[in-house]
Amino acid sequence: MLDKQTVRDIAWSGKKAVVRFDYNLPMRDGVITDTTRIDQSLPTLRYLLDAGAAVIILSHMGRPKNGFEPKYSLRPAAEYLSGVIGRPVKLAGDVAGPESQSMAAALAPGEIMMCENVRFDAGETKNDPELSRRIASLGDVFVSDAFGTAHRAHSSTAGVADYLPAVCGLLIGREVAVLEGLLKNPRRPFVAILGGAKVSDKIGVIENLLEQVDMLMIGGGMAYTFLAAKGGSVGSSLLEIDRIDIARALMDRAEALGKPLLLPTDHVVADRFAEDAAVRNLSGDIPEGWMGLDIGPETAARYAAEVAKAGTVFWNGPMGVFEMAPFAAGTRTVAEAMATTPAFTVVGGGDSAAAVSDFGLGSKIDHISTGGGASLEFLEGKSLPGVACLMDKS
């Protein structure tokens, strides 16, 4: 159970809430293409407004390099939020600067304002104390509800909590409760599926999950480093040569613990990394001149069968290059298995969440994390700065 104070522990009437949401939205030609992150913030926002708070919203968007960049402005987010919440959302043109300070001072209960993209200020990613103090001066209580950035110690995610009482919002509360449940009390058997490009991105989480899960299944580009560690040939597939010994040690650890660690036995291979490449299915070793870009149908069926028998399933990382049609079948099969199993299912954000959304299966997953990196670091056993900074229940 989350041992941190939440928005429900504060008497909000007459107070100003400084809230860090994650409105880092996918955009195309200045138009939001997926509003999920704003939609997921609405329960916390509505709670605060109904409780009599005025709300000052902070978020980042993209990775601006030199101050204000129009393409990274939060204006589209403010306009969309205003429509769905049914109230004006005033957008300040700075980050806790004079305009933000003036607007916040005049903000009445039930009103909402938003500061511009916090990354327009170079101090944000440096966790600059001066910026943190300016952010804190906007309101009375800090609310952390951006799980997607909770693993970063930035001014608007953690530094501000040095200067204001700090609690979590409803989204972070739900995220932490679900992920803690995986580590402390999962329904058995507990199966984890890990994919994506690199073993190096997931060493820590594999080490920690091996202690918790009943079975671990590997796919995606990272599988080829494990297969090479077993002595197999992987052709021109993605391979982290400097991680082969680590992959071998992880397999030895799984064997010592009696935990099955499943690897692909067949592959969808191509002669080059392109959607119009020559493609074929093969089992076993991959010959030179060919690269594995998806798990094969035999492996996909085997993984799906294990998901169907599970009590709990955690999935992070696609099984192949699902953005290209010839290499999407493995990821789709796993996603469909997740959507139909009676198990409690958790998708750990990132590309896995994107895949589930692309396949139209999001509503059939029990929990889709809003933070790929944050969920992995949590399951790795790391402390998340955006959660650690909050006041304890005690």
Q: Which residues are catalytic?
A: 37, 198, 350, 373
DSSP conformation class of 276: T
CB within 8 Å of 254: residues ≥ 6 apart: 210, 216, 260, 261
| d(C-alpha 254, C-alpha 252), whole Å | 5
CB within 8 Å of 42: residues ≥ 6 apart: 84, 85
Both tokens assigned to 324: 């290209």
Residue 9 near residue 50, CB atoms below 8 Å? no
H helices present in 185-310, as ranges: 203-210, 223-229, 244-257, 297-309
Both tokens assigned to 295: 């798990």
Which helix (H) or strand (E) is 129 found in, with range?
A: helix 129-136
| d(C-alpha 124, C-alpha 120), whole Å | 8
Residue pointed to by tokens 């991680």? 243
- Alpha carbon distance, N-terminus to C-terminus of the chain: 13
| d(C-alpha 210, C-alpha 187), whole Å | 16
Question: Measured at the alpha carbon of residue 18, what is the angle toward residues 16 and 24, in degrees to the nearest 5?
Answer: 145
| d(C-alpha 324, C-alpha 319), whole Å | 12
| d(C-alpha 201, C-alpha 111), whole Å | 42
Q: β-strands 344-347, 367-368: how paired?
A: parallel
Residue 292 near residue 239, CB atoms below 8 Å? no
CA nearest to 294, candidates 275, 319, 315: 319
| d(C-alpha 164, C-alpha 101), whole Å | 16
CA nearest to 322, candidates 302, 345, 295: 295
